[in-house]
Amino acid sequence: MKNVDPIATQQYIEKADHFLQAMKLTALELVPYRTGIALLAVHSAISLNDAITAGLTGKKSKHQDHLAAVKELEGISRKHRIHNLNGIGHFRWLLTEKTRIAYGRERLDDALILMSVDRAERFHSWAYNYFKEILHVSACAQ
């Protein structure tokens, strides 16, 4: 895999990491941060997907319907002969829950918050395993 836009990739990786680290930090106290934790999980995955897309296509995913980004990631994965698509399931779940998390009227329960954290961590792990050549850009790209 060749990274066609290492600068944009690095910028999205940085955002994804900031969201992920903030998610982990706030997850230590669910009560005051519950909605924020889940939303940080979602945005960490979106930004990491943008890093993959930018690195492999030179473009940011521009889908207003975030689920279209799932299909795009599936296509990218297949093109690069990635047969384990489990991480995409975690990404899909997070995007499916985004509206409920951000705009839903009901209080989010602990199970949803913890599942959001778990899904985000699993997506990041999958992405860094299967797109390591793209996501481990050099420091000189900054």
Report the percent of the chain where pLDDT is more than 70. 94
Is residue 79's pLDDT more than 80? yes
Residue 128: C-alpha distances to residues 25, 48, 87, 124 (Å): 21, 9, 10, 6
- Is 109 within a domain? yes
Looking at the structure of the chain, the number of domains it has is: 1
Tens-digit pLDDT profile for residues 9-41: 999 999 999 999 999 999 999 999 999 999 999
The whole-number pLDDT of residue 136 equals 86
- Is 29 within a domain? yes
- Is 142 within a domain? no
Is residue 142's pLDDT more than 60? no
To the nearest 10 degrees (0 to 180), the angle between helices 30-57 and 110-130 is 20
Which residue from 113, 62, 124 is spatially nearest to 88, judged by alpha carbons? 124
- Is 1 within a domain? no
For residue 67, give the 3-state DSSP assignment: helix
Find the domain containing 26 and state its range: 6-137
Tens-digit pLDDT profile for residues 108-137: 999 999 999 999 999 999 999 999 999 986
- Distance in angstroms (rounded) separating the CA atoms of residues 90 and 96: 10
Tens-digit pLDDT profile for residues 80-107: 999 999 999 999 999 999 999 999 999 9
The CATH number of the domain holding residue 23 is 1.20.120.330
**Can you tell me the mean pLDDT for 64-70?**
84
The whole-number pLDDT of residue 63 equals 65
What token pair was written down for 78? 């297949």
